[in-house]
Structure 1
Amino acid sequence: MKAFAALVHREYIEHRGAFFIAPLVMVAIVFLLTIFAFSVDRINTRFSGQMLTVMPTWVFEAGFAALAAGWLVYLGFVLFFYCADGFAADKRNNAMLFWKSMPASDLKVLLSKLTAAVTILPGSIFAVALLSIVLMFGVAYVTTMIAGLGSATLLWSILVIFAQMSLVLLVVIACALLWYLPYMALVGAMGTAAGRWAIPLALLLPSILSVLEWVVMGGGMHPFATRTWDFLNYRSQFPIAFDYLDRVWEGQQAFDAMAFTVDFLQKFDWLQVGVGAVFAFAAIYIASEYRRRSAAN
């Protein structure tokens, strides 16, 4: 167990630049630019503070959601390239023989990479995302104080919103990682065999599979009117419960993190998550066997 934890920690050390340092630098730059914009009166502090108190709950919830959505896009982007490139890193930097001398099987090494991709690597971005939102909320509250509208009640409301939205973000990230686990495992397995060529192959693979089904088994009027394409399209769209969010945006009910979480988890397709987990393990196992045999030759 200690050896496996060390392997996961190694992945974090080798890729913390993309998952921690770079996001932290971006947050620092944006924060400094924001402070600079206020200090040179590019942004009217009093007017901004007054606007924030018009609909304070909605403004802070929407601001959190918008910033969180940006971090989710960044997380998906870096995870894709990590799986495509990180699984082939040992072969590329000639470290394969070193890891072969360690008491760790190829399956354990590849599973440690996949484990890092769903735990500490996204966890780093989650922590930086919360830090960026804390800074955003802090700047917003300071502007309300400068405008003479800050109060303990508003501060407490901001803290409650932050706690609720942080819970929602954590649940969404965890479920998204489980939902896209088979994609990460497949791209990683392709990276083990094809190296960086796994990036274009992963983008072309859905089209190839759909065209193959259309040619062999027939289907609709074009190669993308197949059951394969419909299934991949379904598995590519994150199944979030929009009906609850629609009621919130329409003003029919106030946003409640626990109610959203319960509604979201109840409607989540856990059967597909289980099938995807089995597929992910199978893909990693096949990749580990290929890695073991190719290194032996």
Structure 2
Amino acid sequence: MSTFKILLKREFWENRGGFLWTPIVLSTLFILVVGLTLTVARLKAGSFIKFDGLTIPIGKAAVSLGPDQIAMLVKGTNETLAGLSLMAQIPLAIVVFFYLLGSLFDDRKDRSILFWKSMPVSDLNTILSKIVSATLVAPLITLGVLIVTHIAVLGIMSALMASLNVNPWSVMWTQTDLFGLWLRLLVGIPVNFLWTLPALGWLMMVSSWARGFPFLWAVFTPIGIGLTLSLIEVLSALQIPQTWYYINIFGRGVFGILPWSFNARGGTFGFEINDQNMPSDIIGWQAMGDVFSSPHLWLGILAGLAMLAVAFYFRRYKELAD
């Protein structure tokens, strides 16, 4: 077995609580809540349901739903699944955020770096294994759990539809963009890796040189720089709004580890959900394509690679933390 595979296995087993069990536990709780909520709603409905302004007898639900109502139901299901996929990125981002902060710091703090440096393991492979774990292994596990969650939620909804004498296969399973969503989420993993590279580089760089409290260094250093630039009016002299710094430098550099956190219309950090920008639009082919035409992506890649180079330097020459 290659050294790199051993390093990947080490990262997984040391962090399986965050990488594996966190999404599984949260997914299980979500499925239970959805099942309980829909069960209570069905029991309260009695002999009639209300949908799109219509009061429909339970026994006639199948024949009472016209093409417009079915299309609305399918669209709502697609947006629900896409919204659930976006929600799943939040715990993933939190896990990866703290994983990266400790990725190079913990080895120095507990002095295990001395052991690893005595082994035939290169610093480059060590850093690459942590990058792959954060940007490929953890997202793939989350995607796998998401797929199971999607199927479970649709299964619960199917049971509800069956109780309403509606065929869930023809109304939902054959019309929902399930495989398309999964494919976009899979393709989005490398896209999000490129987008989150500045945050990844910053967190690993801080982890490589901080002598203590890497979280405080990672968060308050850019805040301090922003306040200093504001006090000496550097940003004003350059006619740069202060909000630009806190969105594109602080926001993206610290919290840009959140997948799908790009605004496709401008290729900047942050997104909003509204009637013109639904969850399925955020996790969309056009959004992923448009971000590649944004200079913010490419400048961020250069900045991220530069910070990773600094992290490699400190990993090689700065052995211990306080």
TM-score computed with the length of structure 1 as normaliser: 0.80
Listed one character per residue, the Cα deviations across residues 123-182 of structure 1 (whole Å, up to 9, x for unaligned) are: 111211221111111111111012110154224435x41112222333444423321111
| Structure 1 residue aligned with 2:203 | 187
- Change over 3 Å in CA distance of 1:188–1:219 after alignment to 2: closer
Q: Which amino acid aligns with 1:120?
A: V
Provide the secondary structure at the position in 2 that maps to 1:219. Answer: helix
Of residues 45-54 and 12-21 in structure 1, the stretch that sits farther from structure 2 once superposed is 45-54
CA–CA distance in 2 between the matches of 1:201 and 1:22?
26
Q: Which amino acid aligns with 1:166?
A: W
Listed one character per residue, the Cα deviations across residues 34-91 of structure 1 (whole Å, up to 9, x for unaligned) are: 54566xx533169599668743212211211221121011222211111112322222
| Structure 2 residue aligned with 1:133 | 150
CA–CA distance in 1 between the matches of 2:277 and 2:198?
32
| Structure 2 residue 282 is matched with structure 1 residue 265 | no
**1:220 aligned to which of 236, 245, 250:** 236
| Structure 2 residue aligned with 1:12 | 12
Contact 1:167/1:257 (8 A) holds in 2: no
Alignment of 1:1-297 (within 5 A): 2-35=2-35, 42-44=40-42, 47=45, 54=69, 55-158=72-175, 160-194=176-210, 197-215=213-231, 218-220=234-236, 225=242, 228-229=245-246, 231-232=248-249, 235=252, 238-241=262-265, 260-262=284-286, 264-269=288-293, 271-295=295-319
Provide the secondary structure at the position in 1 that maps to 2:167. Answer: coil
Residue 265 of structure 1, CA deviation: 0.6
Q: Which amino acid aligns with 1:188?
A: M
CA–CA distance in 1 between the matches of 2:86 and 2:147?
12
Listed one character per residue, the Cα deviations across residues 196-235 of structure 1 (whole Å, up to 9, x for unaligned) are: 62212222232222233345563339x9728644642684
| Structure 2 residue aligned with 1:252 | none
TM-score computed with the length of structure 2 as normaliser: 0.74
CA–CA distance in 1 between the matches of 2:294 and 2:37?
46
CA–CA distance in 2 between the matches of 1:290 and 1:267?
32
CA–CA distance in 2 between the matches of 1:80 and 1:257?
22
CA–CA distance in 2 between the matches of 1:96 and 1:121?
23
Identity of matched residues, %: 22
CA–CA distance in 1 between the matches of 2:243 and 2:161?
55
Provide the secondary structure at the position in 2 that maps to 1:295. Answer: coil
Contact 1:239/1:268 (8 A) holds in 2: no
- Change over 3 Å in CA distance of 1:51–1:138 after alignment to 2: farther
CA–CA distance in 2 between the matches of 1:103 and 1:215?
49
- Change over 3 Å in CA distance of 1:126–1:87 after alignment to 2: farther
Report the aligned-residue RMSD. Answer: 3.7
